[in-house]
Amino acid sequence: MSNIVREPLVKTEFGNDPWDNRNVANYLDPAPRPTRGMWDKYNISEGLIEKFKDGYWLYPNLLWHNHVTLLIAPANGGKTTIAMHVAEELASNTDLTIVYVNADVDGGDGVVYLKRAKAAGFRLILPDLSGHSAAEVYEDLCKLSKSYEDLTRHVFIIDSLKTMADMINKSSIKPVMQTFRALAGNGATILLLGHANKKPDHEGKWIYEGTNDVRDLVSEMYYLYSDQGPNGITFNVQVDKKRMVESPTPITFVLDVQGNLSRSDVEIDIKKRKREAQQELRDRDAINLIFEALDSDLSLQTEIAKYLNDNGIGKNTATKVLRRYVPQKWKSEKGPNNSWLYRL
């Protein structure tokens, strides 16, 4: 059974009656439809669907295949340290093609990085040292994004994003981000390094430098926190935004005093640790007075709070500090008549 398709009759100077247009050549041929076939150019091949149907980690909890990822920290906050480690791990343990663009490095460090890249087997591009510029690299990336080349086995690391665009200028940064999205559309995986203000917000979270276009156009966005200790530097990577199905868990790295970076199995929340350290600094006077009270055999919460109040610290503050440092500094237990007892 054939389908009957209704086609509109073309209106000529004689109207749209077939008899009136009997002398018009090919009048009854189907009228052209502007929409016929116009959307075919957006068809996606089955091969492309097969490539992208199952996402997966290239580097666990940080780099998702075929996504644009942004890693943020202040200047000298460890971004390059972590990115170089990721590049070395991927180059040494996979068959991926790694292209690392570092347009934010001095000559001495650049030579060290070149040696590491050669040893690991990935391409390190240093525009300033090679007599070129980040703008030239960006133009090459633009050409590649329009080439429709299969980039599913390619990883591009850009260190840093601000070398290719004005981060607070929408007209500058938006086309750059669209280029990276286009590269990802060809199958590439992108890791961008971005900057944060040196001072975090009141919760200890980094404040990103740049327009909302950057955050809107990346797939994942992570903050990198660091803490200097006697045995080296601890880094913690925490997700701020994600699009992948899986939820990344925070990553902890340790850089020892010899300069060796390793991934730790023990998660350390540096942001939380710093926030707690700042809180303890604010509570220092109250803590010292509580120790004095406990050494004087005061144990009831009401007695300890009165002791602090007599020494210039309010009872509400005393109660909060008492509860805040159980069991790190002292122990607590239920006493008679719903009272609370504290002891060292």
Average pLDDT of the residues in 232-256: 91
Contact yes or no for 63/85 (Cβ under 8 A): no
Residue 236, pLDDT above cutoff 70? yes
Contact yes or no for 257/271 (Cβ under 8 A): no
CATH class of 53-268: alpha beta
Which residues fall within 8 angstroms of residue 320, CB to CB, at 6 or more apart?
none
E strand or H helix that includes residue 271: helix 270-282
Between residues 272 and 89, the one the model is more confident about: 89
pLDDT given at position 108: 85
Q: How far apart are CA 342 and CA 344, in angstroms?
A: 7
Contact yes or no for 58/155 (Cβ under 8 A): yes
Q: How far apart are CA 283 and CA 270, in angstroms?
A: 20
Q: pTM to 2 decimals?
A: 0.74
Q: CB count, 10 Å around CB of 200? A: 17
Between residues 185 and 8, the one the model is more confident about: 185
Residue 1, pLDDT above cutoff 60? no
Residue 187, pLDDT above cutoff 60? yes
Which one, of 95, 104, 150, lies nearest residue 126 by Cα? 104
Q: What is the DSSP letter of 78?
A: S
Between residues 180 and 267, the one the model is more confident about: 180
pLDDT given at position 229: 84
Placement of tokens 């009141």 in the chain: 202
Each domain of the chain, given as residue ranges in start order, spans 53-268, 283-343
Average pLDDT of the residues in 62-73: 96
pLDDT in tens, 5-59: 666 777 888 888 888 888 888 877 766 666 667 777 777 777 666 666 678 999 9
E strand or H helix that includes residue 194: strand 189-195
Which residues fall within 8 angstroms of residue 327, CB to CB, at 6 or more apart?
none
Which one, of 222, 231, 241, 242, lies nearest residue 264 by Cα? 231
- Percentage of the chain modeled with pLDDT above 90: 65
Contact yes or no for 194/209 (Cβ under 8 A): yes
pLDDT in tens, 196-226: 988 888 888 898 888 888 999 999 999 999 9
Which one, of 106, 14, 95, 57, lies nearest residue 242 by Cα? 57
